Amino acid sequence: MHEALMSGSEILVACEKVSSEAEVTGVKRIYESLEFNPARSIPSSGTRTGWGLRMIRNGKMGVSGEWGMIDPFRMVDKTIGSCRYGPKAMFSFPETSPEPLPSIPGNFKAIAEDKVHSYLNTLQTEISRIHPHAALSARVQWSRDSFVIMNSCGLRGSYTKATISSRFSVTLPSDSGLLQSGYFLSTTDSLPVMNDVLEMLMLPLHTGELNSHTAVGRKNVVFSPAAFSLLLQAVKAGVSGKLQAEGASPLSGMEGKQILGNQLTVRDLPLLNSGAASAPFDSEGIPTQDKTLFEDGIFTGFLHDLGSAAECKTESTGSSGRNLGEHSKPVCTNLTVDPAMDGSVNTLAETGSGILVTSILSAGGGNAASGSFTLDCGRVYLFRRGEIQGYYNGCILNGNVYNALSKVTAVGSRQYRIGTDLLPFISLSDVSVR
Amino acid sequence: MQKHRDLAEKAIASSEADFAEVRLVHTSKTVVIQAGLSHMNTGPIEQFTGTARAFISGRWGMCEFDSPEQIHDALDKAAATALQNCSVPVPFPILPPACRDTFSDDINGVPLSDVTLREKSFLCRHYCELLGASLPSGSARVTYEEIIKDSVIVNSSGTSVREIENLGSMKVQAVLPGGLMARNELALRGSFDRFKGREKQIAEMGKDLLLRKTTACIAPGRSRVILDPELTGIMIHEAFGHLVEADFLENNPAVAHMLRKGLRVGAECVNIVDDSLLMNQPGSMQWDDEGTPGAKTQLVSSGRIINWLHTMGTAARNDAIPTGNARISEPGGVPEARMTCTYMEPGTTPLDKLTMHLDDGLYLKGFMGGATDMDRFSIAVQEVWKVRNGVIHKPLTPMMISGKVTDVLGSILDIGDDLQLSGSLSGCSRMGSSPIAVAYGGPHILISDMQVS
């Protein structure tokens, strides 16, 4: 880390005479990975280093980034070029360094390739036990990531964390064609809980009877955590202070109002203990804070970075996110929806009858900003009296996400990890199905 | 890069692995966005990555590095990883022929990299103003994206190739209040000139969008349809192309059997190819990411599968020859068998005759989004036009088409004579990996029975 601070300082020095303010961010990832499928397994390792530079020059903001071979002077030149066309700088870089926090723990060294290989072999065996012709392919990467930030106003900060990213996919030939399920999640402390992975991968692979009737009209729909995650994309966009600043968020002026069903409490938790997106400070060096976005369905406020906060005349919530070389924007980190205190896990019993959506093929025709959605769910399952009765192919849901999430029948009683989020099953009534 | 290539050649010469390979890639990415009066640009973001691979006693090991000084160490680490690899051994890969060569887009005219950022920004603003002016309300947005990629592949069987790619894309998008949208993307490889002179096309795009503002709905159901070349290409890419990528197929022998060579997947008139040598298209390549020369591969002939897409590893495991389709989606990644420029070959029927043949049905144009679930596909269509008595009659609300690819390819009644290719710099992602540049296309096609919703 000391070496990183030195390199960052060199870039800042190179900016001194050509900018009024400058900020440098650095990332270093050291990883190992295993690519697994029945035909072959390939272990790999690697190192990746990158630097990002933001600069205010003539009142405008410019950015640049480099991965691999870094040339500080080339970066400065490119950032000057970017300033010419950049947005007006509405704020100054912060002066106060974030509190030095102990590194977020992780077990990078405790994981070895043979352990991952054995985990995946066991998973394949369990999958074969359920569907003898199903085959697993997966990629697991475990890494140690170091971050550093410094700016010309005196801010300095750094931290290190461990992340385990896992991508699983299962293919299954069936009488009605080919089936596939996928599951992606990130953790920090250990390999994913195998039973959860198995449950998420098997959920879209029910075979059963093809139902000749299609469910068209307004129906009860249960979303699996993976499907719910896609539905929440529009909410993630809607709570962005950038959209508020542009006057494009449907949540503008709605603070304190009931937007979602009162069973829903939605939080952004950048300090979550096992959250892969956790960080002690955001990409501008502002300390992060856990934030409730919807309390019992009532909207509590937007996420802001320094830019959107300045435009909306408020404070940053420590929610800046960006890739190196790109402009900052407010982002969610570990998004969670509180599970119900009691009831079933998958909400089928509480819902009675309806359709279960386990995956979403595409979201064409939707608008993340307004919340409108058109989701092709591929294969969906019909259930009655809480029991799956059959399936049919080709089901499209449409509507507005805020309207849909205001009609909650039930929330599942446990959370599953989807990407970096923690989400339960959710049952919604009166959803348009065609 | 030439100096790094020399370093890699020296390092490879001293490797004791059964097979060793070094891949060096330098990319420079720039994005310009003009949204109404707001202008934003990022980049160029430069990235250098290297990957060493070693094959020892039937097992692979890999190591990613980010500085040319680390080539030797990375090769040693890849060899050590291969020795520790505890998986089942695989056959020795089928290596590309020895070759030392360089290919650059300079031969296609003035490359993108020689055009100033100022000129690119000006063109985006110009098109955005033009589109905005054609709309009484709503918003216009133009996004220009550029990737300059310089890659070197050196291996222990005598391959040392370098390819410089200039990839560019310009997306033009208009949205009316209420969400009705039109978008158009031109993606190319090589010269910037093709981005110029699109004023007429952009003005027509705005006019068409306004025409579609007052549309009627139709109930979901099954219909006779004509797909435009872009939709034909997307369907071929998403719902068929991914199924003949050999590394996907070899994961599951039961699935591989379902898609075996000789299997009928479409009508007699259906012929599908993957051609990586269309050098002005995104996805094209003189050599793939393992150094195998690019090629034109016939995938379907007279409605039957005749080839899969291969890397040198999948070819060895499946008793085939590499087709030059090994592609890396992210630095340090394993080469995967992926599509390049995939299209359906044209027939002989002009569009007006296809429309007459359609009689009553729908004419579907433009792609808004889509995905595949194995052999099922789902595509959001931008423009839906009612055709009555062989004449394009009136616009309808945008819809989605879906189905099982073999059913759809089997119900093609006629194929147009107008092959057109489209593409995207981030057009293809598989199993959540980073997207890669691809091109896709075909002619207009007439389908007897398609689910529209």
HSE-CB for B253 with a 13 A CA cutoff: 6
pLDDT at A208: 66
> Which chain A residue has the Cα nearest residue B44?
A64
pLDDT at A209: 65
Averaged pLDDT, B325-331: 92
| A113-130 vs A194-202: helix crossing angle, rounded to 10 | 40
Sequence-distant (6+) residues with CB within 8 A of B319 are none
Of the candidates B63, B253, B254, the beta carbon closest to that of A46 is on B63
Share of chain B above pLDDT 70, in %: 99
Of B423, B435, B443, B442, whose CA–CA distance to B170 is shortest? B423
Q: How far apart are CA A319 and CA A242, in angstroms?
A: 11
Chain A residues with CB under 8 Å of B247 CB are 37, 39
pLDDT at A125: 94
Please indicate if any CB of chain A lies within 8 Å of the CB of B282. Answer: no
Averaged pLDDT, A223-240: 92
Please indicate if any CB of chain B lies within 8 Å of the CB of A63. Answer: yes
Please indicate if any CB of chain B lies within 8 Å of the CB of A74. Answer: yes
Averaged pLDDT, A402-421: 95
Q: How far apart are CA B285 and CA B154, in angstroms?
A: 16
Residue A106 pLDDT exceeds 60 = no
Of the candidates A40, A41, A372, the beta carbon closest to that of B179 is on A372
Tens-digit pLDDT profile for residues B154-189: 999 999 999 999 999 999 999 888 778 888 899 999
Residue A107 pLDDT exceeds 60 = no
Nearest-CA distance A303 → chain B (Å): 22
Q: Number of A:B CB contacts under 8 A?
A: 218
Q: How far apart are CA B343 and CA B273, in angstroms?
A: 6
Contact B375 A177 (CB under 8 A): yes
Chain B residues with CB under 8 Å of A46 CB are 51, 62-65, 331-332
Averaged pLDDT, B42-60: 93
Which segment of A251-260, A361-370, B73-82, B376-385 scores lowest on mean pLDDT?
A: A361-370
ipTM of the complex: 0.86
pLDDT at A6: 59
In the numeric block, the tokens 């040598």 are attached to: B277
Averaged pLDDT, B239-266: 89
Please indicate if any CB of chain B lies within 8 Å of the CB of A363. Answer: yes
Of A385 and B445, the one with more pLDDT: B445
Of B343 and A211, the one with more pLDDT: B343
Q: How far is CA B203 from CA B171, B242, B253, B394, B420, in A?
A: 14, 36, 51, 20, 21
Please indicate if any CB of chain A lies within 8 Å of the CB of B88. Answer: yes
Could you count the other beta carbons within 10 Å of the beta carbon of residue A31?
Answer: 20
Tens-digit pLDDT profile for residues A262-298: 999 999 999 998 899 999 999 999 999 999 999 999 9
Sequence-distant (6+) residues with CB within 8 A of B30 are B41, B42, B43, B44, B45, B117, B120, B144, B145, B146
Averaged pLDDT, B35-57: 90
pLDDT at A204: 85
Nearest-CA distance B77 → chain A (Å): 8
Chain A residues with CB under 8 Å of B400 CB are 364-365, 374, 376, 396
Q: Which amino acid is at A180?
A: Q
Nearest-CA distance A343 → chain B (Å): 32
Of the candidates B87, B251, B379, the beta carbon closest to that of A135 is on B251
Tens-digit pLDDT profile for residues A163-215: 999 999 998 887 777 888 889 999 987 899 999 999 999 988 876 666 655 66
Tens-digit pLDDT profile for residues B375-388: 778 888 888 999 99
Structural domains present in chain B: 2-211 (3.30.2290.10), 221-452 (no CATH)
pLDDT at B176: 85
Which segment of A18-22, A384-388, B54-58, B95-99 scores lowest on mean pLDDT?
A: A384-388
Tens-digit pLDDT profile for residues A341-356: 998 998 988 999 999 9
In the numeric block, the tokens 């002619």 are attached to: B443
Please indicate if any CB of chain B lies within 8 Å of the CB of A406. Answer: no
Q: How far apart are CA A80 and CA A76, in angstroms?
A: 6
Tens-digit pLDDT profile for residues A41-59: 899 999 999 999 999 999 9
> Which chain A residue has the Cα nearest residue B45?
A65
> How is residue B301 annotated by DSSP?
E
Q: Is B15 helix (H, G, I), strand (E, B) or coil?
A: coil
Please answer whether residues A35 and A53 qualify as being in contact, where contact means their C-beta atoms are separated by less than 8 angstroms: no
* Cross-strand partners of A212: none
Q: How far apart are CA A10 and CA A67, in angstroms?
A: 16
pLDDT at A388: 86
Please answer whether residues A45 and A32 qualify as being in contact, where contact means their C-beta atoms are separated by less than 8 angstroms: yes
Structural domains present in chain A: 2-205 (3.30.2290.10), 217-433 (no CATH)
Of A363 and B83, the one with more pLDDT: B83
Contact A78 B44 (CB under 8 A): yes
Q: Give the pLDDT band (50/70/90) at residue B61.
A: very high
Q: How far apart are CA A203 and CA A205, in angstroms?
A: 6
For residue B121, the surrounding DSSP H or E stretch is helix B117-133
pLDDT at A434: 77
Q: How far is CA A42 from CA A330, B54, B334, in A?
A: 37, 11, 8
Averaged pLDDT, A396-418: 93
Of A333, A321, A268, whose CA–CA distance to A294 is shortest? A268
Q: Give the pLDDT band (50/70/90) at residue B252.
A: confident
Q: How far apart are CA A405 and CA A276, in angstroms?
A: 26
Which segment of A314-318, B55-59, B145-149, B376-380 scores lowest on mean pLDDT?
A: B376-380
Q: How far is CA B52 from CA B3, B12, B49, B200, in A?
A: 17, 10, 10, 49
> How is residue B293 annotated by DSSP?
B
Residues of B132-148 as b/e, b for ≥16 C-beta within 10 angstroms? bebbeebbbbbbbbbbb
Of B368 and A364, the one with more pLDDT: B368
Sequence-distant (6+) residues with CB within 8 A of B346 are B415, B416, B417, B418, B419, B442, B443
Q: Give the pLDDT band (50/70/90) at residue A216.
A: confident
Which segment of A83-92, A210-219, A360-369, A401-410 scores lowest on mean pLDDT?
A: A360-369
Contact A362 B369 (CB under 8 A): yes
Tens-digit pLDDT profile for residues B108-139: 677 888 888 889 999 999 999 999 998 888 88
> How is residue B107 annotated by DSSP?
G
Of A314, A308, A265, whose CA–CA distance to A290 is shortest? A265
Residue A427 pLDDT exceeds 90 = yes
Of A215, A76, A192, whose CA–CA distance to A140 is shortest? A192
